[in-house]
Structure 1
Amino acid sequence: MKDIFRLDSDPSAIAEHSIESKKVAILVCTYNGERFLREQLESFINQTHKNWSIHVSDDGSTDATLEILEEYKKQLGDEKIVILQGPRQGFAKNFLSLIKNREIVADYFAFSDQDDIWLEDKLSRSIAQIPQTPTSKPHLYCSRTKLVNTDLAPLGFSPLFKKRPCFENSLVQSIAGANTMMINNAARDLMCRIADDALVVAHDWLAYLLVTGCGGQVVFDQNPTLLYRQHEGNLIGANATYKNQVNRILKMLSGRFSEWSTQNLIVLNSIRMELTEDNRRTLERFEAARNSGLLSRLYLMKKSGVHRQTLKGNISLVAAAILNKI
Structure 2
Amino acid sequence: MSTPARVCVLLATHNGERYLEQQLESILNQEGVELRVLASDDASRDGTLELLHTIAARDPRVTVLPQGTFGSPSGNFYRLIDEADLDWAEFIGFADQDDVWLPGKLARHATILRDQGVDGVSSNVVAFDEHGRESLIRKDTPQRLADYVFETPGPGSSMLVSRRLMRLIREQLQNPDSPARKAWSHDLLFYALARAAGCSWYVDPEPTVAYRQHGENAIGANGTFKAAAKRLELTASRWHRKLVQIVVESCIHVATPAELPRLQWLHEVLSDVRGINRLRLARRAGEFRRTPRDRVILATLMVTGLW
TM normalised by structure 1 equals 0.83
User: How far 1:267 sits from its partner (Å)?
Assistant: 2.2
Structure 1 equivalent of residue 103 of structure 2: 120
Q: Secondary structure at the match of 2:127?
A: strand
Structure 1 equivalent of residue 138 of structure 2: 159
Match status 1:267 vs 2:250:
yes
User: How far 1:304 sits from its partner (Å)?
Assistant: 8.5
Structure 1 equivalent of residue 161 of structure 2: 183
Tell me, in whole angstroms, the C-alpha distance in 2 between the residues paired with 1:128 and 1:225: 14
Cα 1:224–1:43 shift into 2, 3 Å: same
RMSD: 2.4
Match of 1:310 among 288, 291, 297: 291
Match status 1:280 vs 2:260:
yes
Give matches, 1:71-82, under 5 Å: 71-77=54-60, 80-82=61-63
Tell me if the contact between 2:285 and 2:299 (Cα under 8 Å) persists in the aligned partners.
no
TM normalised by structure 2 equals 0.88
Match of 2:75 among 83, 89, 93: 93
Cα 1:162–1:187 shift into 2, 3 Å: same
Tell me, in whole angstroms, the C-alpha distance in 2 between the residues paired with 1:83 and 1:167: 39
Moved over 6 A (4+): none
Q: How many residues align?
A: 299
Tell me, in whole angstroms, the C-alpha distance in 1 between the residues paired with 2:281 and 2:43: 46
User: How far 1:86 sits from its partner (Å)?
Assistant: 4.7
Match of 2:43 among 60, 77, 84: 60
Deviations 1:188-242 (A, max 9, x none): 0121122457311211000110001100011101111011110011112112223
Cα 1:292–1:67 shift into 2, 3 Å: closer
* Structure 2 unaligned spans of 5+: none
Tell me, in whole angstroms, the C-alpha distance in 2 between the residues paired with 1:195 and 1:149: 34
Q: Secondary structure at the match of 1:56?
A: strand
Tell me if the contact between 1:282 and 1:304 (Cα under 8 Å) persists in the aligned partners.
no
Structure 2 equivalent of residue 289 of structure 1: 269
User: How far 1:174 sits from its partner (Å)?
Assistant: 1.8
Tell me if the contact between 2:78 and 2:173 (Cα under 8 Å) persists in the aligned partners.
no
Q: Secondary structure at the match of 1:174?
A: coil
Match of 1:149 among 125, 129, 151: 129
Cα 1:66–1:253 shift into 2, 3 Å: closer
Q: Secondary structure at the match of 1:146?
A: strand
